[in-house]
Amino acid sequence: MAFSLTDEQNQLRKTVREFAEAEIAPHVMEWDEASRFPSEVIAKLGELGLLGVLFPEKYGGAGLGYVEYAIALEELARVDGSVSLIVAAHTSLCTNHIFVAGNEEQKRKYVSKLATGEFIGAWGLTEPDSGSDAGSARMTAVRRGTSWVLNGTKTFCTNGHYADVAALPPVAHNTAPTPVPPALLPHAPPAADQPRTPVPAPPAAPAAPPREPLAARRAAPRPAPVKHGSPARRGAGGGVAPGPGVRTKVESGMEPLMMGRL
């Protein structure tokens, strides 16, 4: 089996490297120090086809594969890991969920704009209570007539401040907790290039108590592991414990993904 890159793949590497060195490298420190989202560069990446590398041409993508996708991310990360992560989250975590699980109408409505960079995609997995453990997600999706109601809180949504579409994994809760494909929440992002408000540094943590000697810790009995479905993690009776959050009505009618507007 040959592991060398093709001429086309080497040309892609050269193109992305030249773009990154010319358009990204001179501004990396400026963006980092100002906590600035590089909207203008993301738009140019869309024009180059780098926001839709994996998707068919009929949806506005480049129609390439994962080797080409990895090459593009690698060359972007070589200059600025943040830009590479923006592209990876946009492509893999938002657009690809719609492409894999969405119906044809959703693909044409969303993938065609995400793949060209007209839309920026966000991903919201992490929750304040369950972290990034998808199996312990507490946001619920309840069917009400032809609509769905999302109830929960998401945090640390990658690309969230500037995205046009967000994919949020909830848990269906009509009868029993069941994972469902991510809900789609189209929304209007803030003005392009708007600096984010700096987050104040948290207060200094109190000094940690002295640790027990390793031998004593090894001899101590270990507590039983807590399973994802146990009452300690999921609320009484093993169900998803309700918590404070945001109730959002989501229009449906387009299985298997739910669609709506904030």
pLDDT in tens, 18-46: 999 999 999 999 999 999 999 999 999 99
- Decide if 211 is inside a domain: no
Q: Which domain holds residue 125?
A: 120-194+243-262
pLDDT at 128 > cutoff 60 = yes
Same domain flag for 68 and 44: yes
Sheet strand arrangement including 147-152: 178-179, 171-172, 140-144, 147-152, 246-251
Which of 87, 119, 151 represents a domain boundary (last residue)? Answer: 119
Same domain flag for 112 and 132: no
| pLDDT higher at 6 or 232 | 6
pLDDT at 152 > cutoff 60 = yes
Pair 148, 257: CB distance under 8 Å: no
pLDDT at 203 > cutoff 60 = no
- Decide if 103 is inside a domain: yes
Q: From CA 111, how far away is CA 44, in angstroms rounded?
A: 18
Average pLDDT over residues 154-170: 92
pLDDT at 255 > cutoff 80 = no
**Domain with 140 in it: what CATH number?**
2.40.110.10
Instruction: Report the pLDDT value the prediction gives residue 182, as an integer from 0 to 100.
Output: 65
Same domain flag for 12 and 108: yes
pLDDT at 237 > cutoff 80 = no
Number of domains comprising the chain: 2
Average pLDDT over residues 215-225: 51
Sheet strand arrangement including 183-186: 121-123, 165-168, 183-186
- Decide if 90 is inside a domain: yes
What is the pLDDT confidence band of residue 149, given thresholds at 50, 70 and 90? Answer: confident
Average pLDDT over residues 210-233: 47
Same domain flag for 89 and 160: no
Of residues 161, 158, 147, the one with CA closest to residue 94 = 158
Which of 63, 87, 119 represents a domain boundary (last residue)? Answer: 119
Same domain flag for 63 and 115: yes
pLDDT at 248 > cutoff 60 = no
Q: How do residues 106-125 score in pLDDT, each as one tens digit?
A: 999 999 999 999 999 999 99
Q: From CA 182, how far away is CA 170, in angstroms rounded?
A: 6
Same domain flag for 105 and 128: no
Query: Model's pTM, two decimal places?
Result: 0.68
Radius of gyration over every alpha carbon of the chain, rounded to an integer in angstroms: 22
Same domain flag for 13 and 94: yes
Which of 66, 86, 119 represents a domain boundary (last residue)? Answer: 119
- Decide if 223 is inside a domain: no
Same domain flag for 30 and 75: yes
Instruction: Report the pLDDT value the prediction gives residue 184, as an integer from 0 to 100.
Output: 63
